[in-house]
Amino acid sequence: MEPWKRIEELSEILITHNRLYYEQDAPVISDFEYDALMNELIALEKEYPIYARPDSPTQKVGGAASGKFSKVKHRVVMQSLSNAFDKTEVEAFVNRVLQSAVSSGIPTRFVVEQKIDGLSVSLEYSNGILTRGLTRGDGEVGEDITHNIEAIPSIPKSINTRADYLNIRGEIYMPYSAFEQLNETAMKTGDKTFSNPRNAAAGSLRQLNSEITAKRGLRLFAFNIQAAVGIEFDTHEEGLNYLNQMGFTASPGYQMADTADQVWAAIEEIARDRDTLDYGIDGAVVKVDSLPLRLEMGQTSKAPRWALAFKYPPQEKTTLLDRIDVSVGRTGKLTPVAILKPVFIDGSTVSRATLNNEDYIREKDIRPGDEVIIRKAGDVIPEVVAVVSPDRENRAPAFVMPNICPVCGAPVHREQGESASRCTGPDCPAQLFKNIVHFVSKDALNIDGIGPSIIEILLENELIKSVADLFSLKDKKEELMLLDRMGEASVRNMLDAIESSKNATMNRILVALGIRHIGVVAALTLANAFNNIYEISDASIETLAKLPDFGYVTASSIAEYFSLPQTRNLLQSLEAHGLRLDKKPQISGSGALTGKSFVLTGTLPTMSREEASSRIRAQGGQILSSVSKKTDYVVAGEAAGSKRVKAESLGIPIITEEELLRLLENY
């Protein structure tokens, strides 16, 4: 892969994972895997700086503040740490520090601490009184969670200090014991359970009701004095001891070291003790003890030069694989699932683990009855990573993905070049929730007032069993009004919105059907090329593949969808309810932008892509899904990706939303 493409790909991947980890508290990969991706991006940007994005994740710490609490600028920037993954990197860091100590004439030792797997916070004390608690956020701006911090018993609300001001950094965590109790209670009451202690701690710390936070068993380990007024320390160890005297629990079990060998021995000892702790750690932190030397060494824009985090690989355990089941997700994807002999790992008991897909199972030759090694991807999702010395003679037969959906009986299809097998049934119960959410969405039928929570209520009460049943709800008005959150006004508004959606043009109906590879642009192309949806269903793959920006894969997906009996039944049902399958979109073909083609990329400041596309088409312009020499303009918003890069390489004009609006206003 070309360097600029890989830099773009890594940037998008890491931005997504930053959002999942810092803003949604829902990581899907481990810190170990994340750091490997980040290090690859750092190396590529160093070698090819011209391709580095202005919003590169290598230049930011964490994610944005969530907006749930007020945002506050940190008095001391909360930086992240540089990472190491092997002994050589640790030795290089220690030797670099020792050289700095010699050249500056400031002797130092090293402090090796546990790296707690929690949420980093900043605590501010004025004249001994806790005045503010902030999340890290992006390192420069965090969220004010003072009320929730005050609800955590292990955090002193006042301390007996002579300091006028203290800024203390620590890690909020949930002990394994508290996590198990929380999930047990949730299961008894029917509430949502948490996937791991870190997510549980994050959810508990960001409660709007601090009384809930107080009941969750959260604790704090303090690990640094960021700033102090009215008191001075010469070493980090002095600061830790002072924090303990003030009533904090400061970096439990930290060790002092003088050489690279002693530092490495401390890291190994922390790793050996990992399974005995009642809380999660994902590594060890090596810090310069001398505070004057820290000042001398300084920091980069993202991390201090005087500290290093050594990351442990994800925990792995061995257990027995009893059988392999197949689950069908809401997108129709079939996922093989390992049913395991229960085993405790990373704070929870695991009895099921993902096997990803058929290729993954075949590559690792995983079979029922095998002894397997499991770990948690992202410390969240259990996965099988290897088989332990299988008995080749007495093993079960190799796993084969079913060719019929285990839920609805529709054919299962796997496209060439893809690893996923999918159910092709449009009415598959396993996909129903997802299908209805998509069906009513803005780009589809745009039925206002029917969000995911309402859809769940309708499904739970068996008022709908397919997307077509939405149009029968007008006959169930009294039943609807008996449901929670469904008063007379909301029911009336919802039914009016459903009735209005019957005026949808055929391109919107095509989007609503959820055909793979058919989005807003492709649906509009189909609606302009055919007189009605039945004509599309009867078209050959060859005919479909000749449409602008279509190809064999897209054409095959359309043909396969319309070949199913369930599809024909659904179309007839929608038509019987009053939807027009032949209503053409009203698009001007004689506007001033006629003959001009546009590609939209990134997030525009004030318009959605759908709105921008509609306004361009209203002036006769064409929307393309990919950049080519035939493209006249690329409209680029925030986080514009590879399409912008390709446009630059082809010399295609790149315009902003403001420039697009000027184009439109001039006509």
Q: Which residues are catalytic?
A: 115
Please say whether the beta carbons of 123 and 130 come within 8 A.
yes
> Hey, what are 363's tokens?
């590559």
Based on its alpha-carbon atoms, the radius of gyration of the chain, rounded to whole angstroms, reads: 29
- Going by their DSSP bridges, the two strands 622-623 and 633-636 should be labelled as unpaired
| Residue 35, phi then psi, degrees to nearest 5 | -65, -35
The DSSP output letter for 473 is: G
> Hey, what are 490's tokens?
């909301």
Q: In whole angstroms, what is the distance from residue 559 CA to residue 632 CA? A: 31
> Hey, what are 586's tokens?
């009203």
Contacts 24+ apart (CB under 8 A), 573-578: 573/466, 573/468, 574/468, 574/471, 574/509, 577/468, 577/471, 577/472, 577/502, 578/471, 578/502
- Going by their DSSP bridges, the two strands 633-636 and 597-601 should be labelled as parallel
Residue 485, phi-psi category: left (phi > 0), alpha (psi -120 to 50), beta (remainder) = left
Contacts 24+ apart (CB under 8 A), 430-434: 430/327, 430/328, 430/329, 430/330, 430/332, 430/405, 431/328, 431/329, 431/330, 431/331, 431/332, 432/459, 432/465, 432/466, 433/330, 433/459, 434/330, 434/331
Q: In whole angstroms, what is the distance from residue 434 CA to residue 459 CA? A: 12
Amino acid at site 302: K
Please say whether the beta carbons of 247 and 220 come within 8 A.
no
Helices (H) and strands (E) in the chain, counts: 24, 22
Q: In whole angstroms, what is the distance from residue 404 CA to residue 423 CA? A: 8
CA distances from 378 to 12, 34, 381, 526, 529 (A): 18, 9, 7, 41, 46
Please say whether the beta carbons of 618 and 588 come within 8 A.
yes
Select from 402, 399, 365, 401 the least CA-distant residue to 384: 365
Cα 215 to its chain centre, rounded Å, is: 28
**For residues 575-613, b (16+ Cβ closer than 10 Å) or e, as one string?**
beeebbbebeeebeeebebeebbbbbbbebeebebeebb
650: helix, coil or strand?
Answer: helix
Q: In whole angstroms, what is the distance from residue 59 CA to residue 77 CA? A: 14
Q: In whole angstroms, what is the distance from residue 78 CA to residue 139 CA? A: 5
SS3 content of the chain, % helix, strand, coil (to 5): 40, 20, 40
